[in-house]
Structure 1
């Protein structure tokens, strides 16, 4: 996969919502404020929270995580062989017992 086209999948819409209620700075942030700070349309945040959209380009994922004040991998998983763009990891890719 071309690193310039890396996409990240949101780990959990619920976690995003919880982190918006209490960011790394200890304050809350609204959907519109998060979108403005991340430089994206506010509808993108709505779509992520409602599971309409599951993935974002790397620059958007980094921007959302930075704005909330958490490490990227707290909220996002890089898509690829073990994290498909849609759906859970493939069974054959699951760890061995």
Structure 2
């Protein structure tokens, strides 16, 4: 498994919503804009916002953090020995 396949846990879905309202540059980003920047379907961003989906592969998580203008660890925790993977239904990414 390489670093891009590593799963990451979204720390706080409400924080994701707040950061979308005011990114690191002070501007707002829409669900569609964030999805495009991350290379995912808009429903994936919607699922992350509502907490239905709580994890994403590292490359998607990094793209989301980059577009929002925040440090990766502000929103995400790499899943591993200290951060267990969430138990959730499979959601297409």
Aligned equivalent of 1:55: 55
1:19-53 superposed Cα distances (whole Å, 9 cap, x missing partner):
00000111011111111122111010000011111
How many Å separate the matches in 2 of 1:3 and 1:62? 14
- Which runs of structure 2 are paired with 1:1-97 in the superposition (5 Å)? 2-4=1-3, 5-86=5-86
- Aligned alpha-carbon RMSD (Å): 1.2
When normalised by structure 2's length, the TM-score is 0.87
Aligned equivalent of 1:90: none
How many Å separate the matches in 1 of 2:20 and 2:10? 14
Q: Which runs of 5+ in 1 are unaligned?
A: 88-97
How many Å separate the matches in 2 of 1:54 and 1:3? 21
Worse overlay, 11-20 or 29-38: 29-38
1:41-81 superposed Cα distances (whole Å, 9 cap, x missing partner):
10100000111111100100000000000010000001011
Rg larger in 1 or in 2? Answer: 1
The number of aligned residues is 86
SS in structure 2 opposite 1:35? helix
Q: Which runs of 5+ in 2 are unaligned?
A: 88-93
Runs of 4+ in 1 over 2 A off after TM superposition: 2-5
When normalised by structure 1's length, the TM-score is 0.83
How many Å separate the matches in 2 of 1:22 and 1:70? 11
